[in-house]
Amino acid sequence: MDGILNINKEKGYTSHDVVAVVRRTLQQKKVGHTGTLDPDAEGVLPICLGKATRLADDIMAAHKVYRAVLTLGVTTDTEDASGEILEQKPVDFDEEAIQEAVDNFVGEIQQIPPMYSAIKIQGKKLYQLAREGKEIERAPRNVTIHDIKIQKFLPPNQLEMDIYCSKGTYIRTLCADIGKKLGCGGHMASLIRLASGGFKLEDAITLDELKRLKEEDRLSEALIPMDEVLKEYNKVIVKEEGTKLLYNGGKIYTYFFEKTDRPVMLGEKVLGYDSKLQFMGIYQIATEKEQDRLYMKPLKILR
């Protein structure tokens, strides 16, 4: 079984728990997720099956949308509600000042990854070191916050906001940094991932719904084709005489192209299809400097 499931992860499950349940339910060996959600977080978690596991990095690279509740005035060691309280301060709940502080974080910003995260340093995950009472220096990372929309002010010390951001953004850290900016500290009280690329919460299914679809032999209703999730990529259909090169990972020059969605551009990633419209994988448009002619080279062949 090859494709992607749009799973609505519920509270209490780790991302690895979801993978294990899907593997067991579908009796599928190759299963992988496309970006960790903390156990307390909910929402969209695309799960790749079979050959689609090779597309996990491409899916993870897409933008994300989150809905978070920020609690001001309370700082925790994990930057979320599950942690130990480190400090409490009074909150001046000035809506204009809060809006101004939030606006400061729109654009390209730097974040220091939290100690309670799955990042590996010297072969050990940060959260493992944190549980041992250790804290080590972490290099800041660049992320992009495309927009933050405050949905609700919740006096005396909370606000709900939707965050549109790049991959790799720590919403916990964003909440803590907004609290620091306001001088009172803060932490993330709750988190829902509303979207990951083209995967949206309103289209997601729970693990219980997945089990029911399996029992009713209706899994096809939930399984999303591999190329569907990369539909923003240009599509290249190769002529029959170029199909053998396509199968064998050879160079596919433009005179082998039967059809494209739009003119190809040097360096762009494209989806390759054989003459029978079978999706073959992800390719990149390259050029031979000597002859200055474009061709399609394989990045990920999914045959």
Mean pLDDT by 10 residues, the chain (303 residues): 94 92 93 87 95 87 94 94 94 96 96 68 62 66 96 97 94 96 97 94 96 94 90 92 87 92 92 92 86 86 80
Same-domain status, 98 and 183: yes
Q: What is the CATH number of the domain that holds 18?
A: 3.30.2350.10
Coil/strand/helix, residue 21: helix
Q: What is the pLDDT of residue 229?
A: 85
Q: What is the pLDDT of residue 188?
A: 97
Q: Are 47 and 31 in contact (CB under 8 A)?
A: yes
Task: Give whole-number Cα distances, 67 to 43, 106, 190, in Å.
Answer: 10, 15, 8
Same-domain status, 68 and 189: yes
Helices (H) and strands (E) in the chain, counts: 7, 19
Q: What is the pLDDT of residue 57?
A: 86
For residue 221, the enclosing domain spans 3-62+198-227
Task: Give the list of residues 6+ apart from residue 163 with CB closer than 8 angstroms, or none.
Answer: 65, 66, 67, 68, 145, 147, 148, 169, 171, 174
Q: What is the pLDDT of residue 128?
A: 62
Same-domain status, 86 and 176: yes
Distance separating alpha carbons of residues 215 and 194, to the nearest angstrom: 28
Cis peptide before 298, with omega less than 30 degrees from 0? no
Distance separating alpha carbons of residues 83 and 250, to the nearest angstrom: 53
Same-domain status, 126 and 41: no
Q: How many domains does the chain contain in total? A: 3
Name the active-site residue from 2, 38, 177, 274: 38
Task: Give whole-number Cα distances, 72 to 113, 136, 225, in Å.
Answer: 20, 26, 43
Same-domain status, 71 and 186: yes
Q: For residue range 248-260, what is the model confidence (pLDDT) as tens digits?
A: 888 899 999 999 9
Task: Give the list of residues 6+ apart from residue 24 with CB closer than 8 angstroms, or none.
Answer: none
- At 61, list the tokens: 């690279």
Helical ranges in the chain per DSSP H: 15-26, 56-60, 95-103, 126-131, 171-182, 207-215, 243-248
Same-domain status, 125 and 187: yes
Same-domain status, 94 and 217: no
Q: What is the pLDDT of residue 18?
A: 95
Same-domain status, 175 and 145: yes
Same-domain status, 189 and 75: yes
Q: What is the pLDDT of residue 73?
A: 97
Q: For residue range 193-232, what is the model confidence (pLDDT) as tens digits?
A: 999 988 999 999 999 999 999 999 999 999 999 888 888 8
Identify whether 292 is a catalytic site residue: no
Same-domain status, 183 and 278: no
Same-domain status, 15 and 83: no
Answering whether pTM is above 0.75, one says yes
